[in-house]
Amino acid sequence: MEGPLLPQRQVIAREVFRVAFYMPHDHPTLASGVSHALDIYMHAVGQGPKTINSVHYNHHEGSQLTTETWRLARGLLENTEHWSFPEDYDNSEQAQIEKRGFERGLLLTGGSSDRNGYEFEYRARIPWRPAPDEMIVSLLTATLPFEYLEEHGPARVRQLALDMASKLLFASGHAGLAIHVYRNLRLTDNDYRAEVLRYPGIDLRAAWHHEKWMGLQVDGVHWLNFLGPPLLTQLGGANTLRSRLHSAETTLREITEERIMVSLGEKPETGDLLKGDTLPAYREFARVMEPWFEPIFLKQTLASEDEPRYTALRFTENEARRWWSRFLD
């Protein structure tokens, strides 16, 4: 007699290598650079059942990645017609754009049922006229499973991030280790929360859902840190920034005359607070960049809970604030 069916196991969270760029421009200005970044990413990871095989347009229901859906994806990126929101859209399209919070979007994944760690996403900001008081940015992110980093090595993924950045008009960006949370943790998952808080070099940023408001600020410190105008100008330029960074592990590389990459070591480090490994190079860079850090933004996951919890990791407010300031204490 066959035994009872066991519940299907699902990946709730995965350690990944993530690249993110915050770009204060509308899609027509960004189209060429985003297309280039996508080409670089897909050349590195390939298309197939074990990497990228599904595509979503504007977060509609996903489709299998085929020659036809690739054509549609390319068309969405290559369309550089200028919009002046909202008068250039009909009423139904206006409502859809306002609901999703971005003018157009492209999401490539390993499929909704296969959380394999491969993902590329682009969200173009809404071209509001007049511009809102708070700076909204367009966002590009891409992830690789941690196993990709182990197999190909840090030099390869550093070059991948650099190549993706080479034609992007970013104000800031980063690349490094991160936790990709696919759904809210349970309140009882205390051991996992304590574990991720132990390692300051692993970014939990994806759980905060405040990316489009990054504006001309930075989202903390990572293994690779990208800076462009006007942030780099406010810092005094590449040479001034270089003079303020003294750690032997830190290097500054100019990508163009206006944009740079700051590397904090030869490879991404997790650190370990229990062993006193607080990542000194990261802390030095954090002290320099603190005036430009985005303030912490907390939104409760469930308003009805006795003790408020925040982010998909269900942190307490104290845990969230402790993690946010981990390189500044």
Give residue limits of the domains in the chain: 13-293
Whole-number pLDDT of residue 49: 87
Identify the pLDDT of residue 208. 61
CB 37 within 8 A of CB 164: yes
Predicted confidence at residue 303, as pLDDT, reads: 67
CA gap 142, 107 in Å, rounded: 10
> For residue 43, what is the DSSP state?
H
Burial 253-274 (b: 16+ CB within 10 A, else e): eebeeebbbbbbbeebbebeee
DSSP string for residues in 280-321: HHHHHHHHHHGGGBPPP---BS-TTSSS--BTTTTB-HHHHH
- Structure tokens given for 93: 């399209």
> What is the Cα–Cα distance from 224 to 173, expressed in whole angstroms?
8
Task: Report d(CA 60, CA 106) in Å as an integer.
Answer: 10
Give the pLDDT of residue 6. Answer: 44
Across the chain, which has 329 residues, the per-10-residue mean pLDDT values are 53 90 95 97 94 87 88 92 76 84 92 82 89 87 96 97 98 96 85 93 78 86 97 96 97 96 97 96 98 85 75 89 92
149, two tokens = 């980093």
Alpha-carbon Rg for the chain, nearest whole angstrom, is 20
One-letter amino acid at 65 equals L
